Structure 1
Amino acid sequence: GGGTGMIGDPGGKTAERVLLDAETVARNAEAIATQASTLFAGADFTLLNNADWLSQLNMIEFLREVGKHFTVNVLLQRDFIKDRVKDPEHGISYTEFSYALLQAYDYLHLHREYGCDLQIGGSDQWGNIVSGVDFIRRKTGNTVHAFTWPLLTDKAGKKFGKSESGAIWLDPAKTSPFAFYQFWLNAEDESLGEYLLKMTMLSKTEIGAALELHKRDPKERHGQQLLAREATTLVHGAEEAAKAEQVSQVLFGEGTLEGLDADALQMLKAGAPSREIQTGTGIVDALVVARLASSKREARQFLADESVLLNGDPITDPSETLGSDDFYNGLALLKRGKRNICVLILK
């Protein structure tokens, strides 16, 4: 996308895109290539960057060879163009108006040079891909195909997008394997079937059996655990998925720190709130330091209510202090209830 990315797809946008500089586009293209190499490792595929041919296209050639095969009448029927043309404040530039032509030419080049007969994209790309299908038919007489995949949405129908709040990324530098795992683990029951079909390589039979098991006891979250494990394995590999599952069990289940290796302990520290603390600190003060209680009085009440756990063990005695034996590799896990957690780091 190093060539088309210099323009940017205007579909779904209500205002003109800010053009990215060439350096940023090249960096983005390189990052996408790295992700594709990881996701498709072991498969026979070729990575191409359309900057290699689109940057060589001159204006006269583009208008004669591409523009001649598109009518403004048809382009104006596209919903986002109609909306933008009617908007007196924003309108649409010739650059964005012409984007579909650029993508159509891109498909033609791939068809001619590499025998590409199928272009796949998200459902928001249907118009652009079909423009390429029609263009190739007019230009060569050949039949090629378009395939679009429904965009991922939440139960309210809102799409997952880069600009949306709480977006998840394939890049572990943007969304860690643990955060990625947790995202799917927190999926709503209503979306489980859709996500298992779209985000895993499980068969329909396997998914049906998993959903049946989940329905018997939704509180056990069998479906979410399967989804999180499979999706994380697909994107980050089985080893990272296993670590994320193990850390999740320690934080929210019945797992223990002793079962975690050095990498998993690092994942634990990054995946939960943490505070530094010294041995000899009283449990009441520790709860306040960990921000699991707003005051010493509240901390004592939580202890009396038997809602405090240290490394999985219930603590009720307000006179208890933290000793070196409470820390594993310099870490201890303090919980109030099931979801309020803090990793204590030994100073």
Structure 2
Amino acid sequence: MNIYDDLKWRGLIHQVSDEGKVRDYLSTPGRYMYCGFDPTADSLHIGNLVPLLCLVRMKKAGHNPLFLLGGATGRVGDPSGKDKEREFVSIEQIEAQSANIKAQIEGFCEHNTGEKAEVVNNYDWTKEISFLDMLRDVGKHFTVNWMLAKESVKGRFGREDVGISYTEFSYMLLQGYDFYHLYKEKECQLQIGGGDQWGNITAGCELIRRKAAGEGFALTFPLITTASGKKFGKSEKGAIFLNAEMTSPYAFYQFWINSDDRDVINFLKFFTFLTEEEIAELEKAHEEAPYKRIAHKRLAEETTIMIHGKEELAKVEAATVALFGGGDIKSVDSATLREAMEAAPGVEYEAADIPDLAQILMDLGLSKSKGQARKDIKAGGLYINNERVDDYDYAPVDTDFIGGEAMLIRKGKKNYGLVIRK
């Protein structure tokens, strides 16, 4: 299958400059295409997954995708989708974030294709261009009228409260020059990106036409929203990052497995490499027995493996089964258990100062008094690591601490607490 047809089936094509020509361009292996990633944070997030996956899909189809790191454009700030000016961060921070994102891109590509990613940085070809050269060689080819018509600018122009600076207004010239540069250096004729990038991408197409008498193509993805109408990629705690230190593998897995029933099949198309036949089978199983959550589990498995690997998935699944399916909690990796219980109350004690169970319940806020704690324990609703305890004078021992450091307390069916031994 032509990769264009695969993207279309998955619902990943929003705008395309010339469908016939783009499809024809992608029919020959070895073509170049690119997408840019500005270093606006320490990590990419799942909102970046669609373009990141698309480039990897291109590589799997035999093409030569370029992963463009915005070392230059990140210094300026893209106005697309923003209702106010971005705040500048230090050059040192931009460079540190660039290094982090480059490592993520390289790891993601190699993990999912077995091949190295070709990462290019637009700062490398922009840093030597003078302001006068940019005005003369690039700015000359754009009219202000044409630029004002772009959505990325139009949404801010005329708003006296925020407006748009000359810096951000010029962003599309930089992105357009990137496309022109890669067209000249790599014969790259296709740029891809989110729907909000249409104006910036077509600026590049226009520059290639005017300055090189050539042809560039634009392809954008739709804005991903949930069935409830919310912007995709946010949780109650904010963005879901690809960096395990910013979003734990457990939280990452739970985000996907908790997808709305109405979204799960589309998410399988957007965010996995599963084939049309495999997804059709999952859709059938989901329609026949939605309560089994077969499609949700497969979505969570595929995305977690894609980002964190099979070993982390195994840890997360063991914790999920132990916490919600009656599995052996002591088999769970202690670090994963701590991630899973991040939202639960927790207490820390020195190894020599661990109190009795009744005091622990009070410290966790699971019982209001020691007397109430004793009643709760005696009633038979208190569990240590999923094993019932009915002795209110019980003092935890070494074997109660998973990995030597974590002990899970459960009162009733839903009230959890975590005890950490320092």
Match of 2:419 in 1: 344
Distance 1:302 1:116, change over 3 A: farther
Match of 1:288 in 2: 362
1:1-347 superposed matches below 5 A: 1-41=70-110, 42-160=114-232, 165-260=237-332, 264-272=333-341, 273=344, 274-276=346-348, 281-282=356-357, 284-296=358-370, 299=373, 307-315=381-389, 317=390, 319=392, 321-324=394-397, 325-330=399-404, 331-346=406-421
Amino acid at match of 2:93: T
Amino acid at match of 2:367: A
Higher relative contact order (Cα pairs below 8 Å, separated by 6+ residues): 2
Whole-Å Cα distance in 2 between the matches of residues 26 and 48 of structure 1? 14
- C-alpha deviation, 1:187, in angstroms: 1.9
Q: CA RMSD in A?
A: 2.7
Whole-Å Cα distance in 1 between the matches of residues 102 and 298 of structure 2? 28
- C-alpha deviation, 1:270, in angstroms: 3.5
SS of 1:40's equivalent in the other structure is helix
Distance 1:307 1:208, change over 3 A: farther
Q: Is the 8 A contact 1:160 1:167 kept in 2?
A: no
- C-alpha deviation, 1:302, in angstroms: 5.3
Distance 1:161 1:130, change over 3 A: farther
Q: How far does the alpha carbon of each residue in 1:271-291 deviate from its partner, in whole angstroms, 9 at most, with x for none?
A: 314324666723x44333333
Match of 2:58 in 1: none
Whole-Å Cα distance in 2 between the matches of residues 174 and 269 of structure 1? 14
- C-alpha deviation, 1:174, in angstroms: 1.1
Whole-Å Cα distance in 2 between the matches of residues 37 and 292 of structure 1? 46
**More deviation, 234-243/136-145:** 136-145
Distance 1:323 1:67, change over 3 A: closer
**More deviation, 248-257/32-41:** 248-257
Which structure 2 segments of 5+ residues have no match?
Answer: 1-69
Distance 1:314 1:210, change over 3 A: farther
Amino acid at match of 1:25: I
Which structure 1 segments of 5+ residues have no match?
Answer: none
**More deviation, 2-11/235-244:** 235-244
Q: Is the 8 A contact 2:376 2:382 kept in 1?
A: yes
Distance 1:57 1:131, change over 3 A: same
- C-alpha deviation, 1:81, in angstroms: 2.1
Q: Is the 8 A contact 1:110 1:116 kept in 2?
A: yes
Distance 1:161 1:94, change over 3 A: farther
**More deviation, 305-314/231-240:** 305-314
- C-alpha deviation, 1:113, in angstroms: 0.9
Amino acid at match of 2:188: C
Amino acid at match of 1:249: V
Q: How far does the alpha carbon of each residue in 1:246-278 deviate from its partner, in whole angstroms, 9 at most, with x for none?
A: 122222322213323xxx222212331432466
- C-alpha deviation, 1:323, in angstroms: 4.2
Q: How far does the alpha carbon of each residue in 1:217-236 deviate from its partner, in whole angstroms, 9 at most, with x for none?
A: 43433332222111111011
Distance 1:72 1:164, change over 3 A: farther
Whole-Å Cα distance in 1 between the matches of residues 347 and 317 of structure 2? 23
- C-alpha deviation, 1:242, in angstroms: 1.6
Whole-Å Cα distance in 1 between the matches of residues 329 and 225 of structure 2? 35
Whole-Å Cα distance in 1 between the matches of residues 265 and 308 of structure 2? 22
SS of 1:86's equivalent in the other structure is coil
Whole-Å Cα distance in 1 between the matches of residues 327 and 235 of structure 2? 35
Give the count of matched residue pairs. 342
**More deviation, 289-298/98-107:** 289-298
Q: Is the 8 A contact 2:378 2:392 kept in 1?
A: no
SS of 1:147's equivalent in the other structure is strand
